[in-house]
Amino acid sequence: MMCNCHVTVDQNNRELVQHGTTAFPVASYLDDLRQYGVSWHWHEELEAAVVTEGEAAVTIGTRTMTLREGEGFFVNSGVLHSCHPAGAGNSCLHSVVFHPRLVGGSAESIFYQKYVRPITENHSMEGFCLCESEPWQASALDALHRAWSACEQEPADYELLVRNALSELMAALVSGSSEIQTEPDKKGLRDEERIKRMLAFIHQEYAGKLTTAEIARSASVSESECLRCFHTTIGTTPIQYLRNYRIEQAAQMLAAGSTNIWDAALQSGFQDVSYFSKTFREIKGCTPKEYRARQQYH
């Protein structure tokens, strides 16, 4: 099954979308990052994606990468990540999100023990980029392309084709990941857990008046530690992240067509419609009115 990806998360930033079905836990997505960036979230499933057009800025855990057309990335289970357009022009991804049990079966199986566990239970392996210049990464990208195409086209035996391709993807990752093994970054893991809690608080309370002090308290840290953690992990300040998140929520309301501009501003935490319009234009490159018209046209 192939569809557009819209990220919806719970109060802990865990994605709420079910990828595929219980019987066949995999889904493929065509992500137009210019229309909808992929905001910070995490899920139990594994994810692999390739840039099919333009450039994309991908952040996995504490690492940010700018990927060009033909390059891809892998995200491990439970790892915070986000993706946004980079540079000018279009920015599109083909991504596949799948539960480890699709390729691993039960925890006692040889498939899980040999090809899933070395990845999912390695906390130092948050994810990495995939480039065709490295043979094992090229193999992973080829398997990803085949899995995505089978999901898109759905031939009679597509379930087997998808599972086989994803099994080859995992085999490539296991064979090549030994080249990039590192010791677990305990400080980085601690920062990520703190960020998960603070982002969860922002996502739950963004419509109200929030301060850096309140965001810091949600993770039981000082304001200075909050600022350091945001800067180190996602490269911005808590208030800048809050502002951007509010704009993304307002944009979703406007795209749905059921909310006027003033209500979208208020419901997303802006009390001044002029400041809202100015901020919206700064982030989205157009006015709220233009954005709503453009989305309704599409």
Q: For the segment 41-80, what is each residue's pLDDT rounded down to a tens digit?
A: 888 999 999 999 999 999 898 788 999 999 999 999 989 9
Q: Is the pLDDT of residue 199 over 70?
A: yes
Least confident of 113-127, 167-181, 182-196: 182-196
**Please, which pLDDT band fits residue 262 given cuts at 50, 70 and 90?**
very high
Average pLDDT, the chain: 88
Query: What pTM was computed for the model?
Result: 0.74
How many Cα neighbours within 13 Å face the side chain of 142?
Answer: 11
**Please, which pLDDT band fits residue 298 given cuts at 50, 70 and 90?**
low
Residue 19, pLDDT score: 65
Least confident of 47-51, 134-138, 201-205, 253-257: 253-257
